[in-house]
Amino acid sequence: MAEVESFPRMTAEEAAELIEDGTLVAFSGFTPAGAAKVVPLALAKRAKELHAAGQPFQIRVLTGASTGPSIDDALAEADAISWRAPYQSSRPLRERINDGRVAFVDMHLSHVPQSVLFGFFGKIDVAVIEANRITADGRVYLTTSIGASPSFLHAAEKVIIELNHYVPYEISDMADIVIPKAPPHRPALDLDFPLQRIGKTFARVDPEKIVGVVETNKPDEPIRFTSPNYYSGAIARHVVNFLLEEVAGKRLPKEMLPLQVGVGNVANAVLAGLGEHPDIPKYMMYTEVFQSSAFELMKRELIRGASTCALTLTPIQMLDLVGEVDFYAPRLVLRPQEISNNPALVRQMGVIALNTALEIDLEGDVNSSHVLGQKVLNGIGGSGDFARNAYLSIFMCPSIAKDGTISTIVPMCTHIDHTEHSVNVVVTEQGIADLRGLSPEKRARLIIEKCAHPHFRDYLHQYINKAGPGHIRHDLKKVFELHQNLLRDGAMLPEFPTSHEIKVRA
């Protein structure tokens, strides 16, 4: 039982009154899973009221990753955020970051807990953490994500618990929580298998820190993806065929290796493609987000088990999970992001990392985060944690965007999140480029032939042919010509096919 009587109970509005202008507030959540839901809404309301009265109110917001609308959307629309880290997927917040109203720190998600514990962000004044059980001695049972909440609970000066009765106890019992010791006395993590457990099912907090408990009964806010299309379907087929060829060539074991799959419609299409192909073996996942498409494959026993940081499921799937908990509990482990995204464990387990890109250049560098190198979309997220240390690092994207006015294959990325040293394979709907063991010029020509859209291939070939000599061939006068064309003319190449012609040629 949750020992709520041991701590002061209060409304969300009363909890919001405890948070002052200028404070650093850490919220639970990794995607909308396990995110605080009612206190941030009350904070947004309070901010609007104070602003209307001519008083300042903004806070610094720290989370494990992206969150639900109740945090980022609500607080951004109330102009209540002055600083944000480490990742976001909110349109209202993104607009304020890109016009300079909100300072944003984009960082690898595995780095967040250690940065908290060593004070890189300054002191955390208040942590607002969702749980479904708490005990008088400070055990906090988290809900559908772990994220950085164990570290927030440890570091915060004050703690507000959102006690969510909607989430069954069986969910929090899937947790495996451990906080590694500080360097230089940090032993290697004894974790050899995705479902191995090395920690506890609860996080800990000093009970004296808990200043209030707000009771709720709310499901996680849903994530909405676009429907699969020609591009995502074709990418999925290329990835599936590539993995089967790797198994046939004995470069992968017959049971494959654990998969990490990013979030989005391309990732969902790849998971669906893996589930549809009869020759794909049952496999494990070592990933940061276990999303609805993966849940359906586990339900069909095509995924044998998964280690994750968050369960991003639909309400119906959550009911299914609880109703069949004896089936799912041995197959799912929820970990802190410092463990789910740990680069050493990614290398140790030989993870196959499948992530999406905004643009990819002819060297194989990847931009995952910034449009035209300037405007942030979401951030780097966890892709860097996995890509740099994966057994196979695969990046995927359609070859074109905005009805063919944009090529995602460019001479040089306008922003680089993942260098060519972290990228093994590039995939678009056009094909797949295996870059392993290739020199820069051979990489460039393979990417053009296999991945670039036909409308842009001649331009890209001419760029390489006319570029100056060197280990890496570039023409510094024209390296961003496509991007400059886009800014000036609204298209990377002045003459481009209609969307109908693009689909025919694709």
Is 504 a known ligand-binding residue?
no
HSE at residue 501, side-chain half, CA atoms within 13 A, is 8
Phi-psi region of 29 (alpha: psi -120 to 50; beta: other; left: phi over 0): left
Quote the tokens at residue 65. Answer: 């990753």
Q: CATH 3.40.1080.10: which residues of the chain? A: 12-216, 230-489
Quote the tokens at residue 348. Answer: 């140790």
First vs last C-alpha separation in the chain = 58
Q: Is 441 a catalytic residue?
A: no
CA separation for the pair 160, 51 (Å, rounded): 24
Is 379 a known ligand-binding residue?
no
Candidates 3.40.50.150, 3.40.1080.10, 1.10.274.10, 3.40.50.2300; correct CATH number of 12-216?
3.40.1080.10
Is 378 a known ligand-binding residue?
yes
Catalytic one among 77, 221, 288, 296?
A: 288
Is 485 a known ligand-binding residue?
no
Is 262 a known ligand-binding residue?
yes
pLDDT in tens, the chain (506 residues): 445 678 999 999 999 999 999 999 999 999 999 999 999 999 999 999 999 999 999 999 999 999 999 999 999 999 999 999 999 999 999 999 999 999 999 999 999 999 999 999 999 999 999 999 999 999 999 999 999 999 999 999 999 999 999 999 999 999 999 999 989 888 999 999 999 999 999 999 999 999 999 999 999 998 877 777 899 999 999 999 999 999 999 999 999 999 999 988 888 899 999 999 999 999 999 999 999 999 999 999 999 999 999 999 988 998 899 899 899 999 999 999 999 999 999 999 999 999 999 999 999 999 999 999 999 999 999 999 999 999 999 999 999 999 999 999 999 999 999 999 999 999 999 999 999 999 999 999 999 999 999 999 999 999 999 998 899 999 999 999 999 999 999 999 987 555 545 554 44
- DSSP H or E stretch at residue 154: helix 149-155
Q: What is the pTM of this model?
A: 0.94
- DSSP H or E stretch at residue 315: helix 315-323
Query: Do residues 342 and 390 touch, judged by C-beta distance below 8 A?
Result: no
Is 364 a known ligand-binding residue?
no
Query: Do residues 376 and 106 touch, judged by C-beta distance below 8 A?
Result: yes
Query: Do residues 306 and 334 touch, judged by C-beta distance below 8 A?
Result: no
Is 64 a known ligand-binding residue?
no
Is 382 a known ligand-binding residue?
yes
CA separation for the pair 449, 480 (Å, rounded): 20
Q: Which of 279, 334, 346, 272 is nearest to 309 (CA)?
A: 334
Task: Report the DSSP pairing between strands 375-376 and 370-371.
Answer: antiparallel
Give the chain's length. 506
Quote the tokens at residue 499. Answer: 């969307």
Candidates 3.20.20.70, 3.40.50.12780, 3.40.1080.10, 3.20.20.370; correct CATH number of 230-489?
3.40.1080.10
